[in-house]
Amino acid sequence: MSEKKIPVIIDCDPGCDDTAALLLAFRCPEFDIRAVTTVSGNVSLDKTTYNALRVTEAIGSDVRVCPGADRPMFRDAVYAPHVHGEDGLLGIPLPAPQKKASFYKAWDFIYEEAVAQKGELEIIAVGPLTNLSIALGKYNDLAGLIKRIVIMGGAAQGGNVTPCAEFNIYVDPEAASMVFRSGIPLCVCGLDVTLKAYLTAQEIKNIKALGTPQAELFAGVTQENCEKRFCPAGAPLHDPAAVLFAADSSYFTVQRCWMGVETKGTITLGKTVTDCWSDAQKEPNVDLVLDVDRERFAARVKELMGKY
Ligand code: RIB
Ligand code: CA
């Protein structure tokens, strides 16, 4: 690993797997986490922000938390309480935060940090892409200042909200389309890989047995059966897969291709459209992550959780 840390902002909607992703990200030696930005997604913005504050405090970090968009660009908000609970954390009794959210709006801080990092800033986006689209619309030089965005979202095949749309893209397809057309280097960790990045029930137990409050929290939010129909072998770690890919992509399989977002369809609304190639005379615009060495992924998760 090169000694120089990667300056990152984690844009999220905590959310259970977002919480697992934050727990892991703050123990990745590769990252210099500059901020956590929050967006309406799994639950409303007030709850995702409250959760980001209390989760980062539980991690022991005083990182800045910048609230962002409280709804999609052009649509009504869509939440997922049936997956994450009404409070976004399955009612886990995590203490209320002491710190307050930053006065910076997510999109303003993303821009400020992109300028400050002189083109080295990377974004790990694991919620709807509304904040990034607002930032791109407000600052027309931003696209040239972001080194890479690693997105948890979409799928080359299938969906988890409709048969062809994944939640983060489905919630705000217009925002996603703006990001996909921005020209920023994109790595897309869609359901193709995140449903393979799962932990078995025993692996979750082994993490819980580490015995720290953070390990307890990780096990609590890593649901084993809420997506059984999509991942019968265990609990898929959607957002943690994007974080671990951003830290070290060596055990993931990537395909360079073109990918776009359906914003007008009814049945296909929110679909990330690709043929995993680019033979439709479209220039490739994403590194699509299609596979992972699951054993290495699970071992890395346990190793990072052992650092608390
Ligand atoms: O489809 C999974 C994604 O939607 C994850 O980011 C989860 O947190 C939800 O936001
Ligand atoms: Ca998320």
Does this model's pTM top 0.95?
yes
So what's the pLDDT on residue 3?
A: 75
Tell me the C-alpha distance between 104 and 44, whole Å: 18
Tokens 């048969």: give the residue: 163
Q: Which of 34, 84, 238, 294 is catalytic?
A: 238
Ligand in nearest proximity to the CA of 241: 1
Tell me the C-alpha distance between 272 and 275, whole Å: 10
Question: Angle 240-38-95 (CA atoms, 0-180°, nearest 5)?
Answer: 80
Q: What single DSSP character describes residue 5? A: P
Q: Is 238 a catalytic residue?
A: yes
Q: Which of 204, 177, 187, 195 lies closest to 264 in space, CA to CA? A: 177
So what's the pLDDT on residue 117?
A: 98
So what's the pLDDT on residue 280?
A: 67
| Residue pair 224/204 in contact by the 8 Å Cβ criterion | yes
Binding site membership of 239 for ligand 1 (Cβ less than 6 Å): yes
Splitting the chain (308 residues) into consecutive groups of 10 residues, what average pLDDT does each group show?
86 98 98 98 98 98 98 97 94 96 98 98 99 98 98 97 97 98 98 97 96 97 70 91 98 96 96 84 91 98 98
Counting ligand 1 atoms within 8 A of each CB, the residue from 168, 223, 243 with the most, and so the one to mutate, is 168
